[in-house]
Amino acid sequence: MQLKLKLTVAAAFAAVAGMALAQEQVVKIGHVAPVSGAQAHYGKDNENGARMAIEDLNAQGVTIGGKKIKFEIQAEDDAADPKQGTAAAQKLCDSKVAGVVGHLNSGTTIPASKVYHDCGIPMVTGAATNPALTKPGYNTTFRIIANDLALGAGLAHYAHDTLKLKSFAVIDDRTAYGQGVADVFAKVSKELGMKQVDQQFTTDKATDFMAILTAIKSKNPDAIFFGGMDPQAGPMLRQMEQLGMANVKYFGGDGVCTSEIAKLAAGAKTLGNVICAEGGASLGKMPGGTAWKARYDAKYPGQFQVYSPYTYDATMLLVDAMKRANSVDPKVYLPELAKSNFKGVTANISFEKTGEMKNPAITLYNYIDGKKTPLN
């Protein structure tokens, strides 16, 4: 009789546990960035931000539609390659993720945004800045960072209004991001009365810039604007020093604005001439930036680059919309995402009809003794 009672109690416990498991729902959120290749340090930082948000959400305990939700990240590598980016996007669609955080590069994000739109999955990027991303008007595309129109214009005004520079040359890496931000800087600088004396092109794989820098040196510009990323900017700064271009200011967008560039420049004094821009406030001026960064550094020491606070917020933003809609179904929560008024770590986030963030901030930086320092 005692054995029978024990078995009955055990069966009852098993049934209750089974019900609890049945009421827990796994919801996947996709993340895409380059976690291999020359830009892997950015991609890993982005992925860390999303992972940190998923861990925080699971620790809080989230119930949606009467079910306890366990969030999981499905992380994909696009290696900063547009074809790999669309393949990763299709994989996330096929996996029926509830939403996507990413991508990092404009060149991968723009084609991927169509894939997500076609399969009805919302995507939020906190890194891709080319204005063309929101031009098609997809209702599934959202950006929580300033675009290149703001970044390029901000740098042009600083060059003209504050530094009183008269002439500049442009180099871009021919990617959607590099070309886009360089074109905006050049256009606004010329409107302000500065003279463009040269234009050169490179790639996002190049490491030798001596020929194009020598051509630019002969035109004697006050500044160079580089549209591209830090794996090229670091060696370029070293080569500028070798060519005696120590007095030429060096402007770049958020792709240049990293901690890593100081390592890649390997002690070149020209690092002190860098002025770069990022969408968003500096960490110290973000609503929750300082406390969040301390937690990030404890979890991922030495890995912080630029965008992880934004991927953290992007993940939290998706889930906030799910909570308000009381559904993890993208079709149901998408209208709530568009209506967001979310207090994030980086900013208070709400959207224009286009999916662009309302009133995004930008911050300019320079490098003092190798340390990235906000100018505003």
The pLDDT assigned to 5 comes to 44
Residue-range domains of the chain with CATH: 2-145+286-360 (3.40.50.2300), 149-279 (3.40.50.2300)
Query: Is 106 within 8 Å of 307 (Cβ atoms)?
Result: no
The pLDDT assigned to 48 comes to 98
19 pLDDT above the threshold of 50: no
18 pLDDT above the threshold of 80: no
What's the rounded Cα separation, in Å, for the pair 151 and 82? Answer: 23
Q: Report pTM.
A: 0.85
Task: Compute the average pLDDT of residues 147-165.
Answer: 96
| Tens digits of residue pLDDT in 203-259 | 999 999 999 999 999 999 999 999 999 999 999 999 999 999 999 999 999 999 998
Sign of CA dihedral 26, 29, 32, 33: negative
User: Which tokens in the block code for residue 360?
Assistant: 């995004």
Task: Compute the average pLDDT of residues 93-102.
Answer: 98
- Tell me which residue of 346, 322, 331 sits closest to 127, measured CA to CA: 346
Sheet strands (E) in the chain: 24-33, 62-64, 67-77, 99-102, 123-125, 141-143, 167-172, 195-201, 223-227, 249-252, 274-279, 342-343, 348-349, 362-368, 371-374
What's the rounded Cα separation, in Å, for the pair 128 and 131? Answer: 9
Query: Is 313 within 8 Å of 360 (Cβ atoms)?
Result: no
Residue type (1 letter), 139: N
14 pLDDT above the threshold of 70: no
Q: Which of 198-202, 256-260, 330-334 has the lowest mean pLDDT?
A: 256-260
